[in-house]
Amino acid sequence: MDKPLGFRELGVVPYEPTWQAMRRFTDERKPSALDEAWLLQHPSVFTQGQAGKAEHLLNAGDIPVIQVDRGGQVTYHGPGQLIAYLLLDVRRLGLGVRELVTRIERSLIELLASYNVEAVAKPDAPGVYVNGAKIASLGLRIRNGRSFHGLALNVDMDLAPFRRINPCGYAGLAMTQLRDHTGPIEFAEVTQRLRQQLVSQLGYADQITLENN
C-alpha cells in the first residue's frame, strides 16, 4: 500500500456518536480517501454484536447496553482499554477477511511481545490471549469492501465488569490486561507501539496523524 495510514487520537469519547461517525465515514468515503485508524477509550459500556444472545449478558446493572452492527457477542469497553477502530478499504488492501483478522491479531501479538508478554491467537475464537486469558478482543463489520469497528486491548482498567457478562459468548472466560504482566505502564506509549504495529502488519508505507474533526 503506497498510501499512509491516518491516525486520529480521540481521547475518551462516548460510544454511540463514535459508532455513528464510523458508519458515516464508511458510507461516504471516496475511493481515493486515506484509510484511518481511530484510537480512543470509551466510558463504561457493554456492546452486543449482531448475533449476540441475551443469555450472555448476565447482570448489566448500571452500565448501558448498546446493540451494534459488528460481528461477535457481548463485550465490555471502559477507561484504560485502548480501542482502535479500523476504517479500511479492504478491497484496495487486497486482503480477505480472514487475512485481515490474522494481521490485526499479529499486530497485537507483536505489540505484547515488545513488552515481553507472550500472547497467542486462537483460530476458533478471534482475539488475543495470554496464558488462556483474553487480553484483546476483535469485532469487525465489512460493508461494500470497507471495514469499521476494530480491536480493544485491555491496558490498565477495571476488569470487574467483564464478570457481568460471558465475554464474547464464553462463560467463565478469564480476562487479563497488560498492566498485570508489566506493572505500571504508560498508556500513550502503548498507543504509539500499536500505531507502529498496525502500519507494519497491514502493509502501509507510513503513518500520519490527522486532526480531529
Residue 48 · residue 74 · CB < 8 Å = yes
Q: Answer whether residue 7 shows pLDDT above 90.
A: yes
168 assigned to active site: yes
* φ, ψ (nearest 5 deg) of residue 205: -70, -30
119: DSSP letter: -
Q: What is the pLDDT of residue 152?
A: 98
d(CA 66, CA 81) in angstroms, rounded, equals: 18
Q: Which three cell numbers stand for residue 95?
A: 486482503
* CA 107/CA 200 separation, integer angstroms: 8
Question: Which member of 45, 104, 135, 168 is catalytic?
Answer: 168
| pTM for this model (two decimals) | 0.96
Can you tell me the distance from the alpha carbon of 68 to that of 140, in angstroms, rounded to the nearest whole number?
11
Q: Which helix (H) or strand (E) holds 187?
A: helix 187-202
Query: Cell numbers at residue 204, please?
Result: 502501509
Quick one: cell of 101? 483478522
Annotated binding residues for substrate? 70-77, 137-139, 150-152
Tens digits of per-residue pLDDT, 122-174? Answer: 988 889 999 999 999 999 999 999 999 999 999 999 999 999 999 988 888 99
- For the CA atoms of 188, 209, 20, 178, the dihedral, rounded to the nearest 10 degrees, stands at -20
Q: State the binding site.
A: 70-77, 137-139, 150-152
> Which residue in 66, 56, 86, 72 sits closest to 149, CA to CA?
86
Q: What structural domains and CATH numbers belong to the chain?
A: 5-209 (3.30.930.10)
